[in-house]
Amino acid sequence: MAEIKVAQIDMPPGLIDLGSGQPGPALLPLALMEKAAAHRLSQGDPSLLAYGYEQGDGYFRIALAKFLSEQYGLPVDARQLFVTAGASLGLHLICALFSRPGDIIFVEDPTYFLALRIFADHGLKVIRLPMDENGLIIEALEEKLAAHKPVFIYTIPSFHNPASVILSAERREKLVRLSRGHDFLIVADEVYHLLSYGAAVPSPLGGFAGDGTVLSLGSFSKILAPGLRLGWVQAAPALLERFVKSGLLDSGGGLNPFTSALVRSAIELGLQHEHLEHLKKTYAHRMLALGAALRQHLPVSVRFDQPEGGFFIWLRFARGVDIKKILALARQNDVAFQPGENFSGGRGVNHCARLGISYFETPQLEEGAKRLGRAVEKYLEAI
């Protein structure tokens, strides 16, 4: 009988695929969810099994607002939160409710490649804007705004996927000002914002939600578990109305009421906070170890910054290096990564590669760096 599949990921034994961007089995919190579920299911309240309130379980939103207020160091109002089944669904709904096929949107170059798949599902025309070490270049945005009218800009302001950069506070403010002046929305994908383990991160763009142009996407995928399919949009109530009044919500009710109720317990019992601290400690350790191993095993011509948050190291090889060839050699060595062109439609960052620390534990990350070093050496010998 063919193997019965359960999870999206299919990591062949022996392969260290550093291209993965999801938590590995050791970080999936089974015991935590067992406690949270036992707590919630013993309350004798069956409402979590009814069709959910359209905006999302009110008690869950209050718990989430309190958690986010503490984490962000900014007041977050439960009325500004709409519960989603993950950031991907949030993004899909934004496209469905705020755009029409053929509309123009702006994205960063490079950007999260699977967001590009969602934009393609909605027939959106994507215009790419350059970034530097402080994130999106605002002057480039201003130039493009003179020629195009986007419905929204999609940005990953904190611990960018894949470039790992942080949009500066000044640029965040300028971006919000431009969105008001030019009447476009900011879709801020802030799924890594809470994963700072050292870096000073400016306030999330969600903090500007009151201004009425920002839709901030958050997710439990990166701070608890992706299988929960639970996330949120933080935005002004007038924008959230569009979600709440949509046909999808009218027919199916609020998204994920059962999971929301369990995660409410995880937050109220302090388990989410504890888990996030554990993740930050674990990822900080892994990131340092991978950085050190890469410095040991890769030639100095391969440059990268040592991130203090998020999941990714963005390697920059010399321009002209054929990353696809290196990837083929790496695979022969049982190691892999995400080549830069996946994030950029084949332009600009072809000499780059994304490595992630979320799936593998430190010894495997170190072994992966060693194997990658051998593949790069082989490539350089052959050219």
Ligand X SMILES: Cc1ncc(COP(=O)(O)O)c(C=O)c1O
Residues of this chain that interact with ligand X (CB under 6 A) are: 21, 86-88, 112, 156, 161, 189, 191, 219, 221, 226, 231
Q: 17 vs 6, 51, 354, CA distance in Å? A: 19, 40, 11
To ligand X, the closest distance from the beta carbon of 342 in angstroms equals 13
Counting every residue, how long is the chain?
383
347 touches 116 (CB < 8 A) = no
Q: Which is nearer to ligand X, 88 or 179 (CB)?
A: 88
Per residue in 58-71, is it b (16+ CB within 10 Å) or e — as a string?
Answer: bbbbbbbbebbeeb
CB nearer ligand X, residue 17 or residue 366 = 17
CB 162 to ligand X: min, Å = 9
- Taking the C-alpha atoms of residue 102 and residue 148, their distance in angstroms, rounded to an integer, is 13
| Smallest separation (angstroms) from ligand X to the CB of 208 | 19
Question: Residue 359 or residue 379: which is nearer to ligand X going by CB?
Answer: 359
> Which is nearer to ligand X, 216 or 265 (by Cβ)?
216
Least Å distance between CB 226 and ligand X? 5
Tokens of 236: 């002004």
Q: What's the rounded Cα separation, in Å, for the pair 306 and 309?
A: 9
- Separation in Å, CA 203 to CA 146, 235, 291: 28, 15, 27
Pairwise CA distance, residues 348 & 341, whole Å: 8
Of 276, 171, 172, the C-alpha closest to 221 is 276
Give the nearest distance from C-beta 111 to ligand X in angstroms. 8
Nearer to ligand X, 85 or 298 (CB): 85
Report the residue number, 313 or 321, with the smaller CB distance to ligand X: 313
Nearest approach, Cβ of residue 27 and ligand X (Å): 14
Cα four-point dihedral sign 170, 172, 173, 177: positive
Q: How far is the CB of 164 from ligand X (least distance, A)?
A: 11
- Cα torsion 257, 258, 263, 266: sign: positive
Question: Which residue's CB is nearer to ligand X, number 341 or number 366?
Answer: 341
| Cβ nearer to ligand X, comparing 161 with 234 | 161
- Least distance CB 64 / ligand X (angstroms): 14
Residue 353 contacts residue 339 (beta carbons within 8 Å): yes
Q: State the nearest-atom distance from the C-beta of 220 to ligand X, in Å.
A: 7
Q: CB-wise, 87 or 263, nearer to ligand X?
A: 87
Alpha helices in the chain (DSSP H): 30-41, 58-72, 87-98, 113-121, 138-147, 169-182, 237-244, 247-252, 257-268, 271-297, 323-332, 362-382
